[in-house]
Amino acid sequence: MNDFKLSFFEPDNYPVNEEHPVTLYPNYLEYKNSNSIIFELSLNGTPTLLLGAFVRKFLFFKWLEPSSGIIATSSNGINYENKFLDLLIEYAKQNNFDWISHSDTCSLFNTYAKTSEWIEFGSYVINLNQDINIIKSNIHPKHRNSIASAEKKGVTVSFDKKNSWLAYDLYVSTLKRSGKKYISQKSFQKLLNLNENIIVCTAWSCAGNLEGCAILLFSKFSSYYFLGGSVEKPTSGAINLMHWKAIIYLKALNVSRYDFMGARIGNISNQKILGIQNFKKRFGGELVTGYLWRYVVNRYKFNLYKMIRKIASFPNGYNDLIDIIGKKIG
């Protein structure tokens, strides 16, 4: 008979390493929230699955938010993901959490909790363990032409962290143009505290003007295109070249994956979202699919929280990604 045990640790007390995703690292968890937990499922005394989570609090609401998808630490661990989620929900109920929210788009699950609200979601991921010539050949011809064109026009790419705050300003201006929320300077400084696990990639025109930026978090497990931005009309191919140089750079560091973070599944009516998704797709990565889900323990408090957030977010409104895409009940 299998003996399952769910244990939990403070991030500083769990031995994460380069084979784990950066979303389990203490500095990353600190960036998102000072109160975090790493859950470990053991089977017959052997660690099998891992999950990082933030403890979120607002007014009298309290909820869990996964920082990562479930990470298998044994060869057959993924077979027990449903059991892990059952025990996680039991933990949430016993510790008076009002709900479990969905994770970041870099944190897909292979399944969803019973009776949860869920959506299918994905991400374009490039396997960096392949030969660099194979990776390049998988890139769409239009992207390859754009990369070559940018190089001919004198676009250069830098990985110098002295450009961090210039990159932040460009990221902020990009999100402001779209009317989207952006992280604060304080949060960005916490991100920079990841030190050797963060890359600040910037693209520069031949005249020395900043045209694009990509903030990438990584361990050997994977890199994540976490934040990015560009001027309104960058040199043609500049952003393509920036990502291509980042791919080469990360491969040289023996990182296994380049994750573009987030891709919707199915028909996309929003042309801007479709354009962004096609940009990611044309780098030739695999569309890795999974689920984002949330589990509501206290429906009254969850609905009240959503109402407060909608009022506070007026006139832009507040919508959870699961509600925007259209939730399903599992």
CATH of the domain at 210: 3.40.630.30
Q: How far apart are CA 64 and CA 79, in angstroms?
A: 23
Cβ atoms of residues 223 and 229 within 8 Å: no
Residue 170 domain-assigned?
yes
Buried b (16+ CB within 10 A) or exposed e, 253-268: eebbbbbbbbbbeeee
The mean pLDDT of 83-104, rounded to a whole number, is 93
- The pLDDT-based confidence of 264 (bands split at 50, 70, 90) is confident
DSSP label at 220?
S
Residue 85 lies in domain: 4-123+290-329
28 CB contacts (<8 Å, ≥6 apart)? 22, 67, 194, 197, 217
Do 201 and 227 fall into the same domain?
yes
- Judged against a pLDDT cut of 80, whether residue 327 lies above it is answered with no
Q: Which residues pair with 202 in a beta bridge?
A: 158, 213
- Judged against a pLDDT cut of 80, whether residue 321 lies above it is answered with no
Residue 324 domain-assigned?
yes
Do 111 and 137 fall into the same domain?
no
Residue 270 domain-assigned?
no
Do 108 and 141 fall into the same domain?
no
Cβ atoms of residues 42 and 5 within 8 Å: yes
Do 107 and 10 fall into the same domain?
yes
DSSP label at 70?
-
Q: Which residues pair with 259 in a beta bridge?
A: 125, 224
In this structure, of 49-53, 165-169, 251-255, the range with the lowest mean pLDDT score is 49-53
Q: How far apart are CA 201 and CA 52, in angstroms?
A: 27
Q: What's the pTM value of the predicted model, to 2 decimals?
A: 0.91
Cβ atoms of residues 283 and 300 within 8 Å: no
Give residue 266's region: left, alpha or beta (phi > 0; psi -120 to 50). left
Percentage of the chain modeled with pLDDT above 90: 64
Which residue among 234, 255, 276 closes a domain?
255
Q: Which residue has the higher pLDDT, 75 or 241?
A: 241
Residue 272 domain-assigned?
no
pLDDT of residue 330: 67
Q: Could you tell me the maximum CA-CA distance found in the chain, to the nearest angstrom?
A: 68
DSSP label at 183?
-
Do 107 and 203 fall into the same domain?
no
- The pLDDT-based confidence of 314 (bands split at 50, 70, 90) is low
- The pLDDT-based confidence of 315 (bands split at 50, 70, 90) is low
Do 110 and 140 fall into the same domain?
no
Q: How far apart are CA 254 and CA 220, in angstroms?
A: 6
Residues in the chain: 330
Residue the block writes with tokens 């903030």: 215
Do 56 and 109 fall into the same domain?
yes
Residue 268 domain-assigned?
no
Q: How far apart are CA 100 and CA 302, in angstroms?
A: 10
Do 154 and 250 fall into the same domain?
yes
pLDDT of residue 45: 85
Do 9 and 118 fall into the same domain?
yes
Number of domains in the chain: 2
Beta 263-264 vs 210-218: how paired, if at all? Answer: unpaired
Q: How far apart are CA 147 and CA 155, in angstroms?
A: 10
Do 249 and 159 fall into the same domain?
yes
The 10 Å Cβ neighbour count of residue 33 is 14
Helix (H, G, I), strand (E, B) or coil at 58: strand
Residue 26 domain-assigned?
yes
| 112-162 tens-digit pLDDT | 998 999 989 999 999 999 999 999 999 999 999 999 999 999 999 999 999
Residue 283 domain-assigned?
no
Do 144 and 107 fall into the same domain?
no
Do 86 and 138 fall into the same domain?
no
Position 104: which residue type? D
Cβ atoms of residues 24 and 16 within 8 Å: yes
Cβ atoms of residues 69 and 105 within 8 Å: no
Residue 262 domain-assigned?
no
Cα-Cα-Cα-Cα dihedral sign, residues 28, 32, 35, 36: negative
Which residue among 228, 255, 282 closes a domain?
255
